[in-house]
Structure 1
Amino acid sequence: MKYYLGVDAGGSKTYAMIANEQGAVIGTGRGGNGNHQKNREQAESSLQQAVSEALKASGLTKDQLEYSWFGLAGADRETDFQILRPMISRFGHPRTGISCDTWNALRSGTDKSYGVVLICGSGVNCAGKNPQGAEYQCGGFGYRFGDFGGGYDLSVEVFRSVLRADDGRGDKTVLSERLIHLLGYTTVSEMREDYLDHYRELPPRIAELLFQAADEGDQVAAGLLARQGDELGLAAAATIRKLSMEQDSFDIVLAGSLLSKGDRSGIIRRAIEQRVKPLAPNGTLRALTREPVVGSVVLAMESSGMNVYQEVLDRLSQGEEGL
């Protein structure tokens, strides 16, 4: 029997999963921040904790692992990999692979080995792989580098919209009352003055106010969500063109909390479809329903030469309960 380790590491949590070649999960582990860009020592410690827990639960040693795949937030450029390769090599696993965590989400969300993934959580990202194996990442580096959206950007947009509504430059919105309540103020003016006097970060959870407001018909909120969807659709379309996937049949996996959980009324999704469907009519939008760590295990299996069938994916999904 062969055994495979998959790791999915983000900015707030790290998951590790060990499964056999039939897809039966025999060990899981958890850790905290796994993004080296936030804190390198903390990330290594979180990875070590999650992997050690999974190995202990499985009863295996690291030398018994056929292949280990580490899907890591922040693994974007060669400068990142120059940090991450030595970090992962210190774990002493016999055969390992490293990728950005976007690829975990893609492989977890489709039964194909190719497709496009859109991530909208605290930030945004887009990546794709075509049937020939060529890969492309579009964005993922923040507003200054062409991105728009995710919890951080949308929170700023809510804040700006409320201030503009208050001074007459923008339309009135129910977001005004809800924002000052969330942040602990009694008036918009009080909030404005406090933020002018003291530099404060806007919490990404502000973005969550958009969904209920849009569901209630608030046009400001609905407009921001539609813009978010349009921007994600632009990234997906650019990726599809770069990879010449216009005539292919593939899945467009929707991942990240704002897409997979927040977009209940489908405003973001519809805007994505309006950008993507005319370009790639055989592309199918699918919300991610599995944990991305499942995709890491699949990538470990495929990297060792194994063909992963639907029944293996189904068994891996059943093993999520231990996380």
Structure 2
Amino acid sequence: MSFLIGIDGGGTKTHAVLTDLQGEKLFECFAGPSNFLILGTAKVSETILELIDSCSNYLNFSYGDISAVLLGTTGAGRRSDAGLLENDFQSFLQKKNISIKNFRVESDARIALEGAFSGKPGSILIAGTGSIMFGKDKAGNVHRVGGFGRFIGDEGSGYSIGKKALTAIAKSFDGRGEKTILSELISENFGISSSEKLITEVYKNNFDIASPTPLVLLAAEIGDKTAVEIIDSETDELILHIIAMNKMICEEVMSIAFIGGILSSKNFYSDLFTKKIKEQIPNCRVKPPDYPPEYGAVLMAQEYLKTN
């Protein structure tokens, strides 16, 4: 019997699913993070092999029974970076006298897109700590909007929301901006109650810029003007993502799935954003993903075997 292994690699955990060649799920397992641009390819190679071994031990099969392993992970958006991990993992296996054929690396967003629409045309909008949008047209072409990172992009993301909240609080502290309940919430939850403390936390203690985002949502829910303005501005940015993608894929009906906690859970942000979509992009239809990203990796592994 032959097997496929699809892997969803993230910054905090990595999720693998074992299937037969038809995609029937047989087993799943988890391991640590797999962002190789941060952890290095050697550490991530150990994690990948750990997951493969967990799968093979479960059904007692050999490495030779694996037809393909496809990993979608953070940091693999550029083919050069993905190829680096592919080559280093094969070198890692050679040192252990292990042979696994057809190991492929793709981006985490790419496998999420394939899983969300079962390999068919559609678009995903990811808004977590960062933001990016991918769409696939009827011809199979994949288009991208956003994803320029925290320095020049990530509009509509937790990072962008958190940064704007901290900027508003800084202005409130020294009288350049309006008073906002965000100042109280930040003080209560993070102990930041002065300009000096804010500067220390951000520039010395590596404060997580995205971490105030839930507080911004809470403040917006109770009507804080500053928080509402931040959410209004950030949802407008994501609307621009969809409008741009809509022009690229040229579909009569644009199907879109949300990935990431800010959009996929019900809150002030997601409610306002959904309302704006209905008003401004009437041909857009929001739907839940068909399958999770790790199964999207299985679908891509199946497609890879057909063409290689």
Q: Counterpart of 2:236 in structure 1: which amino acid?
A: D
- Give the Cα–Cα distance (whole angstroms) in 1 for the partners of residues 275 and 160 of structure 2: 20
Change (3 A) 1:165 1:94: same
Change (3 A) 1:22 1:206: same
Q: Give 1:273 deviation, angstroms.
A: 4.8
Q: Secondary structure at the match of 1:202?
A: coil
Q: Secondary structure at the match of 2:183?
A: helix
- Give the Cα–Cα distance (whole angstroms) in 2 for the partners of residues 210 and 259 of structure 1: 14
Does 2:138 match 1:131? yes
- Give the Cα–Cα distance (whole angstroms) in 2 for the partners of residues 261 and 42 of structure 1: 33
Percent identity of equivalent pairs: 24
Whether the 8 Å CA contact 2:83–2:105 is kept in 1: the answer is: no
Correspondence for 2:100: 93
Q: Secondary structure at the match of 2:146?
A: coil
Correspondence for 1:309: none
- Give the Cα–Cα distance (whole angstroms) in 1 for the partners of residues 168 and 147 of structure 2: 24
Consecutive unaligned residues of structure 2, counting only runs of 5 or more, are 94-98
Q: Give 1:19 deviation, angstroms.
A: 1.2
- Give the Cα–Cα distance (whole angstroms) in 2 for the partners of residues 4 and 193 of structure 1: 50
2:212 is matched with which residue: 206, 211, 215?
A: 206
Q: Give 1:126 deviation, angstroms.
A: 1.3
Matches within 5 A, 1:56-95: 56-90=57-91, 91=93, 92-95=99-102
Correspondence for 2:96: none
Deviations 1:257-313 (A, max 9, x none): 2222364651233345555x15xx1x322244753212112222333349xxxxxxx
Correspondence for 2:253: 249
Deviations 1:123-147 (A, max 9, x none): 1111111110111222223143443
Deviations 1:236-264 (A, max 9, x none): 3223323xx23343421110122223646
Deviations 1:22-45 (A, max 9, x none): 543222221222111112133222
- Give the Cα–Cα distance (whole angstroms) in 1 for the partners of residues 122 and 60 of structure 2: 35
Q: Secondary structure at the match of 2:172?
A: helix
Does 2:173 match 1:166? yes
Matches within 5 A, 1:146-165: 146-165=153-172
- Give the Cα–Cα distance (whole angstroms) in 2 for the partners of residues 117 and 125 of structure 1: 8
Q: Counterpart of 1:168 in structure 2: which amino acid?
A: G
Change (3 A) 1:253 1:67: same
- Give the Cα–Cα distance (whole angstroms) in 1 for the partners of residues 276 and 124 of structure 2: 16
- Give the Cα–Cα distance (whole angstroms) in 2 for the partners of residues 63 and 235 of structure 1: 44
Change (3 A) 1:69 1:180: same
Does 2:6 match 1:6? yes
- Give the Cα–Cα distance (whole angstroms) in 1 for the partners of residues 212 and 132 of structure 2: 20
Does 2:271 match 1:266? yes
Whether the 8 Å CA contact 1:71–1:98 is kept in 2: the answer is: yes
Correspondence for 1:310: none
Whether the 8 Å CA contact 2:180–2:226 is kept in 1: the answer is: yes
Q: Secondary structure at the match of 1:15?
A: strand
Whether the 8 Å CA contact 1:232–1:272 is kept in 2: the answer is: no
Change (3 A) 1:144 1:190: closer
Deviations 1:9-59 (A, max 9, x none): 111111111012454322222122211111213322222222322222233
Whether the 8 Å CA contact 2:154–2:160 is kept in 1: the answer is: no
Consecutive unaligned residues of structure 1, counting only runs of 5 or more, are 307-323
- Give the Cα–Cα distance (whole angstroms) in 1 for the partners of residues 88 and 53 of structure 2: 15
Whether the 8 Å CA contact 1:30–1:53 is kept in 2: the answer is: no
Deviations 1:164-219 (A, max 9, x none): 2333333332211111122124x2345336448x5232313221212222222223
- Give the Cα–Cα distance (whole angstroms) in 1 for the partners of residues 154 and 129 of structure 2: 12
Q: Give 1:81 deviation, angstroms.
A: 2.6
Change (3 A) 1:289 1:209: farther
Q: Give 1:108 deviation, angstroms.
A: 2.0
Q: Counterpart of 1:199 in structure 2: which amino acid?
A: K
Give the length in aligned residue pairs.
Answer: 298
RMSD (Å) for aligned C-alpha atoms: 2.6
Q: Secondary structure at the match of 1:38?
A: helix
Q: Secondary structure at the match of 1:19?
A: strand
Q: TM-score, normalised by structure 2?
A: 0.85
Correspondence for 2:49: 48
- Give the Cα–Cα distance (whole angstroms) in 2 for the partners of residues 289 and 114 of structure 1: 12
Q: Counterpart of 1:114 in structure 2: which amino acid?
A: P
- Give the Cα–Cα distance (whole angstroms) in 1 for the partners of residues 232 and 61 of structure 2: 48
- Give the Cα–Cα distance (whole angstroms) in 2 for the partners of residues 166 and 213 of structure 1: 17
1:232 is matched with which residue: 226, 231, 238?
A: 238
